[in-house]
């Protein structure tokens, strides 16, 4: 693996819920190398989204360290972070939404608009600069949100199940498209999913996290060649990875004793 772009070192986290302290993460350690696509795979309620918020500096862990390019992060980090919902501002156009990170970084409005207009065709949004989110399909909203995330001036993107709410065909199409986008922009990615096939298809490496309190129970390197076509999902090697991951998931300890309140 190349030098670490992101390192999470023994991250533990808990939430106060009423009179009870709910432990969410248990000494989770992982790394994402420069330009590497790493998936965090696990069941619902295992703390994946919490870990991503900690990696972005939006939540502070109870213990452990977050290192971004070798520097400790103790507050909001300048990374591209995309939560499960697209969070596009409904009163702003596609162009205005996508330009926000450039404007926040100090670019003038004309320069920011020109950059967005240049990239709209690459993101399948050519001709939609003046459209508002309610005028877009679900897949187009996700592409607009990803464009905004890419335009964060960072070498790292944190993607929290960006395709989970889409229908199966749209999801497959966007998985292939995402690979092309990342090949162009050379970003490191930590990608949260609960889909085994999605993780295998997209990733260089996969970490599997257990039920809450989440703990890394498996790390696996995906040796499928790139670029990957959709036909790779029928290959014996893909099936072997799937079997390994399904087996690990089926024997993961059921440590959660109370429902997750979020």
Query: What range defines the domain where residue 194 resides?
Result: 1-79+155-262
Q: What is the dihedral of CA 217, 223, 225, 229, to 10 degrees?
A: -40
Instruction: Clarify whether residues 39 and 59 are in a common domain.
Output: yes
pTM over 0.75: yes
Q: Give residue-wise pLDDT tens across range 234-258.
A: 999 999 999 999 998 876 554 433 3
Domain edge (last residue) among 120, 153, 186: 153
Number of domains in the chain: 2
Instruction: Clarify whether residues 166 and 111 are in a common domain.
Output: no
Q: Give residue-wise pLDDT tens across range 27-67.
A: 999 999 999 999 999 888 888 999 999 999 999 999 999 99
Instruction: Clarify whether residues 184 and 262 are in a common domain.
Output: yes
Instruction: Clarify whether residues 178 and 149 are in a common domain.
Output: no
Instruction: Clarify whether residues 65 and 98 are in a common domain.
Output: no
Instruction: Clarify whether residues 64 and 53 are in a common domain.
Output: yes
Q: Give residue-wise pLDDT tens across range 155-182.
A: 899 999 888 878 888 888 888 888 888 8
């Amino acid at each position: 693996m190349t030098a670490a772009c992101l390192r999470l070192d023994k991250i533990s986290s808990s939430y106060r819920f009423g009179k009870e302290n709910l432990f969410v993460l248990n000494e989770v350690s992982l790394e994402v190398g420069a330009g590497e696509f790493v998936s965090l795979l696990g069941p619902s309620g295992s703390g994946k989204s919490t870990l991503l918020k900690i990696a972005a500096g939006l939540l502070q862990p109870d213990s452990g360290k977050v290192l971004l390019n070798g520097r400790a992060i103790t507050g909001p980090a300048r990374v591209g972070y995309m939560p499960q919902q697209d969070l596009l501002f409904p009163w702003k156009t596609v162009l205005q939404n996508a330009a926000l990170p450039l404007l926040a970084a100090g670019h003038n409005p004309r320069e920011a608009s020109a950059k967005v207009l240049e990239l709209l065709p690459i993101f399948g949004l050519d001709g939609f600069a003046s459209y508002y989110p309610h005028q877009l399909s679900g897949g187009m909203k996700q592409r607009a949100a990803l464009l905004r995330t890419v335009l964060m001036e960072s070498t790292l993107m944190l993607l929290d199940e960006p395709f989970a709410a889409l229908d199966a065909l749209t999801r497959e199409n966007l998985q292939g498209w995402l690979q092309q986008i990342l090949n162009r922009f050379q970003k490191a990615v930590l990608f949260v999913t609960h889909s085994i096939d999605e993780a295998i298809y997209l990733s260089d490496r996969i970490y599997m996290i257990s039920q809450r309190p989440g703990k890394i129970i498996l790390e696996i390197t995906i040796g499928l060649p790139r670029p990957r076509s959709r036909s790779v999902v029928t290959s014996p090697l893909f099936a072997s990875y799937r079997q390994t991951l399904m087996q690990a998931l089926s024997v993961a300890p059921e440590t959660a004793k109370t429902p997750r309140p979020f």
